[in-house]
């Protein structure tokens, strides 16, 4: 097998796989941002600078975002661990169990 054939064999180039891989990447980025937002919200709550109403709104917003992510993952057939990226010695991007 030539180098070009080996590369083509390793890369899934049909439209369905490309679309699925793109959706996986998009959902991974959205999940990373969601987790960062959640951590920042928890820091703000812990610092005590928010009113009870603001804490309630933050919690509700984060719950809705998590529900939307779950719905999108299920729609496209992904498990939570499918969205994680192995960063080698650094661990995984999202810290999700595989």
The predicted-structure confidence for 45-58, as pLDDT tens digits, reads as follows 899 988 999 999 99
Alpha carbons 46 and 55: distance in angstroms, whole number: 10
Would you say residue 97 has pLDDT above 80? no
CA dihedral 61, 63, 66, 68 (to 10 degrees): -70
Would you say residue 2 has pLDDT above 80? no
Return the ∠ at Cα 84 (arms to 45 and 11), rounded to 5°.
Answer: 155
Supply the pTM of this predicted model. Answer: 0.70
Q: How many helices (H) and strands (E) does the chain have?
A: 3, 0
């Amino acid at each position: 097998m030539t180098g070009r054939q080996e590369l083509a064999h390793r890369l899934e180039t049909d439209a369905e796989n490309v679309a699925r891989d793109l959706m996986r990447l998009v959902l991974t980025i959205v999940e990373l941002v969601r987790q960062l937002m959640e951590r920042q919200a928890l820091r703000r709550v812990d610092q005590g600078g928010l009113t009870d109403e603001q804490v309630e709104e933050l919690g509700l917003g984060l719950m809705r975002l998590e529900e939307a992510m779950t719905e999108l993952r299920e729609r496209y057939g992904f498990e939570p661990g499918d969205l994680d990226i192995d960063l080698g010695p650094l661990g995984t991007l999202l810290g999700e169990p595989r």
